Amino acid sequence: MRTAESFDGEGVSGGEWLSTRGAHADIVISSRVRLARNVRNHRFAVKCDGAERAEIEQHVRFALGRVEFDEEMVYLDLARAPALDGELLVERHLISRELAHGSGPRAACYAPSESVCIMVCEEDHLRLQVLRSGFELDAAWSLADDLDDRIARRVEYAFSSRFGYLTCCPTNVGTGLRASVMLHLPALVYSKHIEKVFQAGSKMNLAVRGLYGEGTQALGDFYQISNQVALGLSEQDVLERLNRVVPQFIDYERRLRDALEKSDRARLEDRIWRAYGVLRAARTISTEETLELLSAIRLGVNLGLLPSALTIETVNELFITSQPAHLQRLAQHVMEPRERDIARADLLRAKLGAL
Amino acid sequence: MSEKCQRCQKHAATVHLTEILENQERRETHLCEQCAAQQEGPLETMGLLSSAFTPATASGDPGGLRCSACGLGYMEFRSRGRLGCPHCYEVFRSSLEPLLEKIHGGTQHVGKAPDESSAVDRSRERRLVELRRELQTAVREERYEEAARLRDRLQRCESGEDVGGAEGARADG
Ligand SMILES: [Zn+2]
Ligand SMILES: [Zn+2]
């Protein structure tokens, strides 16, 4: 493990989970498994004074340093790192905003491929996250399970046979598991059927939320589906439930894509090509408009309607790299929103215009 | 986009969540990204945390409870919905159980345990789950004699664990 005080990823490309290697990657962007754990015999981070929090952070840092990981991990000390670096990790889906904006000793311990990240001293002392491209919940779980065992040999967890892994928030107690998949569902949105996803999710006790903005019509048409129950259901039960429901959504989205192509092709193509045109030509563009247009061209690439030089991987990355912290990292200075809109348009033209 | 976050009332709400409630009614929640990130868990909890607790007037008056290990008081727990340390799970157990039942539909952990010794415990855990279920059914079906017998067995099975299950959890040890 290597300790760092700044995020040294290039900041212009994304983690491995943005590749399209996983199953159903045209619709499922990523699968994520998160385990919440706390160190035994200590207060939870919210109740800690500075000294205890520092003690826990050091203990965990030392312990993680002795765990064998598949890649050499980077231990980013967020108390010392520039604020922008924390933002970068948030935009890359590696850590929560709460951890980035928190105060006192805290860290992100991540694999350079960005498929594993451990948040240290967030709401819980440890939050282990495994991210995978596509619909790969089982693979994500088996790695998380394994890493959790390895960490447990170095850190004694707070655990009770009655309540399971003890967490700061009662919603996580039990397995401490939150499994989620991020889906891109533009056809369900265009066809105004997205409501049904919410209904089906709630029937199965699964939470459905838009990733960015606008209620049922989330900007960028990204929806995250996750379990709500952590106590009384085993990890396998939770995964099984998601594995049963998610393919139905994938199937539904596919059928609607087919239907759109057949019944409404001109309008569909128009929408996609206009998005492509604007993204390649704009001189200033907001985050919201970018999300919407990128969603349309993502669908276009998946349907084979756009030039084949444009890949899903490029589009996936643009969702991340067109965000504020990434733009500022690329420009290497702090920018006002108006300046960012110009930089965003520049980035999009550079990435899409040359194709 | 000028709408304010419902939780902090400070930042612009950019995350909009819609839930379909049991009665098929829709509930929309508008949060800023910061609050939404903290709100990773099931949204219902926000409502639940203020409504599902045993009222302070119920037997045992949990209102005066305070965790000896971390100092968290019942009212603070109730208003924030967060526990202060592992020991809190024992201290606030009586008001936590109905809350956990509401959030998760269960109060007995099933699944992974941190080490071998706890893994051995899993068979007992399962026995406990079974007994609790049988007891529930017996009560529901008004088979009181059997319920009493099951309750005794459950107590015997439970007393096998020192402070009722939080062996990894004592913050004072
Ligand atoms: Zn807020
Ligand atoms: Zn406590």
What lies within 8 Å, CB to CB, of B11 at 6+ separation is B4, B5, B32, B33, B34, B35
Average per-residue pLDDT in chain A?
93
Q: Identify the bridge partners of residue A35 per DSSP, sorted by sequence position.
A: A128, A177
Residue A215 backbone dihedrals phi, psi, to 5 degrees? 50, -130
The distance of A22 to chain B (nearest Cα, Å) reads 24
Ligand 2 centroid to A146 CA: how many Å? 30
Rounded Cα distance, A189 and A209, in Å:
14
Which pLDDT score is estimated for A216?
53
Rounded Cα distance, A131 and A133, in Å:
7
DSSP A62-113: HHHHHS--SS--EEEETTTS-HHHHHHHHHTTSS-HHHHH--SS-EEEE-TT
To probe the interface with B, which of A129, A231, A235, A289 has the most B CB atoms within 10 Å? A231
Per-residue confidence in pLDDT tens, chain B, 173 aa: 357 888 888 887 766 665 545 454 556 677 776 676 665 443 333 333 433 344 433 445 566 789 988 889 998 898 889 999 999 999 999 999 999 999 999 999 999 998 755 444 545 656 766 677 678 778 878 888 888 888 888 888 777 643 333 333 333 33
Helix (H) or strand (E) holding A118: strand A116-120
The distance of A179 to chain B (nearest Cα, Å) reads 11
pLDDT confidence of A18, banded at 50, 70, 90? confident
Measured between its terminal Cα atoms, the distance across chain B in Å is 51
Ligand 1 centroid to B31 CA: how many Å? 5
Residues in A 141-180 with any Cβ partner in B closer than 8 A: 145, 148, 152, 156-175, 177-178
Ligand approaching nearest to the C-alpha of B89: 2
Alpha helix (H) ranges present in chain B?
33-38, 44-51, 74-80, 88-91, 93-104, 116-140, 144-159
The distance of B55 to chain A (nearest Cα, Å) reads 18
Category of B86 on φ-ψ map: left (φ > 0), alpha (ψ -120 to 50) or beta: alpha
Q: What angle do CA B124, B125, B130 make, to 5 degrees?
A: 95
**Cβ neighbours of A213 in B, within 8 Å:** 1, 14-16
**Cβ–Cβ gap B16/A218 under 8 Å:** yes
Rounded Cα distance, A323 and A344, in Å:
8
To probe the interface with B, which of A148, A166, A197, A288 has the most B CB atoms within 10 Å? A166
C-alpha separations of B49 from A105, A320, B39, B81, B99 in Å: 29, 34, 13, 6, 8
**Cβ–Cβ gap A47/B70 under 8 Å:** yes
Indicate if the alpha-carbon torsion angle A288, A293, A294, A296 is positive or negative. positive
Rounded Cα distance, A29 and A41, in Å:
39
Q: Which of B38, B104, B111 minimises the CB distance to A235? A: B111
Structure confidence by residue, pLDDT tens digits, A166-190: 999 999 999 999 999 999 999 999 9
